[in-house]
Amino acid sequence: MEHAELRRRFAALTTANLADACLRARTPVRCAPPPLRALVPGARLAGRVLPARHVGSVDVFLEALESAAPGDVLVADNGGRTDESCVGDLVALEAQAAGLDGMVVWGLHRDTADLREIGLPVFSLGATPTGPRRLDARPDGALDSATVGEWSVGRADLVFGDEDGVLFLPAAGAGELLAIAESVRDTERRQADRIRGGEPLRRQLAFAAYLAGRRRDPALTFRAHLRAVGGAVEE
């Protein structure tokens, strides 16, 4: 999928919609840990993963940018460390100049005021003034994959970020997942409009019928009931 199309479709979705789509498609829901948040509230990003594993020097990020395509998102893996930052204003400016859609940092950033002014979306675990005070050996495949929380991601993955957090999807089949997310969004919007119009969600979802059915069959789950009535609040 072209990046412009990816951006256009995600502009009307949330990471929550995409997570619901993964559940319905029986695709692993690969969410970054909740502490990884946007530097600027309201920031959003969407693009192909550009992975880089940091070992103490900025050169790994510059090398990653050598093969970047416009719309990519730099996923900087610093092992979740909280004793040093690994990106700052210069990396952000270089990424922005290369046409990247943003940066996801499994670690800390610095130069917060400058990053806000630059305007490139940055998601990280927070900030600290110090840069790295080490230089470790670069592992094999440092530009092939990055780890964020429990997930290993690479060029075959897409990354999305918004105020709910960061989510990774496989690029293969992304169109189908986006279509499911759009369907979920539309169903939930209709349900929300009906609540505002005076029809409680319990009535929409025939909740009284579910309770009666559960009395007859204690094994009946709410999710099974929702599938029967076409609800979309759970899967």
pLDDT on residue 141? 96
**For the residues of the chain, what is the DSSP string, one character each?**
--HHHHHHHHTT--HHHHHHHHHHTT---EEPPTT-EESSTT--EEEEEEEEE-SS-THHHHHHHHT--TT-EEEEE-TT-SSSEEE-HHHHHHHHHTT--EEEEESEE--HHHHHHH---EEES-B-S------PPPPTTTTTEEEETTEEEETTEEEEEETTEEEEEESTTHHHHHHHHHHHHHHHHHHHHHHHTT--HHHHTTHHHHHHHHHH-TT--HHHHHHHHT--S--
Mean pLDDT, rounded, of the chain: 95
Which of 229 and 205 is assigned the larger pLDDT?
A: 205
Of 61-70, 79-88, 219-228, the poorest mean pLDDT is in 219-228
pLDDT on residue 150? 98
Give yes or no for residue 166 having a pLDDT over 80.
Answer: yes
Residue 56 annotated as part of some ligand binding site: no
User: Residue 219 — very low, low, confident or very high, per pLDDT cuts 50/70/90?
Assistant: very high
User: Residue 163 — very low, low, confident or very high, per pLDDT cuts 50/70/90?
Assistant: very high
Distance separating alpha carbons of residues 114 and 122, to the nearest angstrom: 12
CATH numbers and ranges of domains, the chain: 3-172 (3.50.30.40), 177-229 (no CATH)
User: Residue 228 — very low, low, confident or very high, per pLDDT cuts 50/70/90?
Assistant: confident
Residue 133 annotated as part of some ligand binding site: no
pLDDT in tens, 99-145: 999 999 999 999 999 999 999 999 999 999 999 999 999 999 999 99
pLDDT on residue 229? 82
Give yes or no for residue 235 having a pLDDT over 60.
Answer: no
Residues in CB range of 10: below 8 A, 6 or more apart: 44, 46, 160, 178
pLDDT on residue 53? 98
Residue 91 annotated as part of some ligand binding site: yes
Q: What is the mean pLDDT of residues 198-224?
A: 94
Which of 234 and 165 is assigned the larger pLDDT?
A: 165
Residue 93 annotated as part of some ligand binding site: no
**For the residues of 124-174, what is the DSSP string, one character each?**
ES-B-S------PPPPTTTTTEEEETTEEEETTEEEEEETTEEEEEESTTH
pLDDT on residue 233? 59
* pLDDT above 70: percentage of residues in the chain: 98
The whole-angstrom distance between residue 79's C-alpha and the CA centroid of its chain comes to 18
pLDDT in tens, 39-65: 999 999 999 999 999 999 999 999 999
The closest of 93, 48, 56, 97 to 74, measured between CA atoms, is 48
CA atoms within 13 A on the CB side of 217: 9
* pLDDT above 90: percentage of residues in the chain: 94
